[in-house]
Amino acid sequence: MSKYNHRSAIVTGGSRGIGAAVVRALAKEGLGVVIADIRDAEGLQLADELGSGVSFHHLDVTMESDWSRALEAAESDHGPLAVLVNNAGILDIGGVTEVHRPIFRHVLDVNLYGAWLGMHSAAPLLARAGGGVIINVSSTAGLMGYSGIAAYVASKWGLRGLTKAAALDLAPAGIRVCSVHPGPIRTPMTAGLDDSLVATQPIPRFGEPDEVAAMIRFVAMEATYSTGSEFVVDGGATTGAILATPETHSDSPIGL
Ligand code: NAP
């Protein structure tokens, strides 16, 4: 029996993409899961498919009243809160000199303020339940810079830093807080992106939502000695720069 039986989890942006894979993975662990998203139709369909252990509640992560309602619903549907996954996020194109003011603010609002509001709202419930875990879905864009997506990079570095602040602040209440950093993953968010983006990575393919969900499941269920920590799922994208192509290594003893 899972240590989180009769306890609940809430996954923001859980209607599709990485969030939907996380919902499935946590439900398999015996947690009652709330899908919390602005995409009502897809969220309701997923909840319907997964049965009574999973429910959908509309949540815009930037709205305080939505958080109160969704957290109350998580506890009344499934039991005391154990896990919060701040996964909802948006990506907008625009470099430092191109991005428009309202877009810059909106990306920070959803990706950073929304995650803070989630932690701020959920921490008292987790503390009352004797502790739990918060997982913030950042990105490799929270570990390095990327051109052309300035607001996104700022939001994901912010979330990485906020994770460390929260890990320190919430440790006395028995709450672990970690960040997960996916590289390019095949989801609706990356639908327009071409395979050339991943061609030079050590693992030269897009990742699958289930591969990120497996890491998030691990952080939630197994990583009991980790807090404030960064967990990377990126096909090696942030490992370093490749200075030579495999052909130039023809004298390699293992044939590379
Ligand atoms: P996705 O397919 O676009 O799914 C994200 C979900 O969050 C969507 O249902 C989206 O609704 C919802 N959402 C957007 N704004 C919201 C809000 N204010 N409140 C609640 N829900 C909201 O994205 P994904 O690729 O699964 O990404 C999930 C997370 O992983 C994001 O934080 C993303 O930045 C991060 N990530 C993704 C990748 C990747 O390659 N896919 C890489 C690194 C990090 P709408 O579709 O209506 O916006």
- Model confidence over 237-251: pLDDT tens digits? 999 987 866 565 556
Ligand 1 binding pocket (C-beta < 6 A) is 12-13, 15-19, 37-39, 59-62, 87-90, 110, 114, 137, 139, 182, 184-185, 187-190
Report the mean per-residue pLDDT for the chain: 95
Taking CA atoms only, the protein residue closest to ligand 1 atom 10 is 13
- pLDDT at residue 3, rounded to an integer: 74
First-to-last alpha carbon distance for the chain, in angstroms, is 46
Which residue from 181, 179, 159 is spatially nearest to 229, judged by alpha carbons? 179
- Model confidence over 26-45: pLDDT tens digits? 999 999 999 999 999 999 99
Backbone angles phi, psi at 65, to 5 degrees: -65, -35
Whole-prediction pTM value? 0.96
Is residue 106 within a helix (H) or strand (E), and if so which, with residue range?
Answer: helix 101-108
- pLDDT at residue 2, rounded to an integer: 66
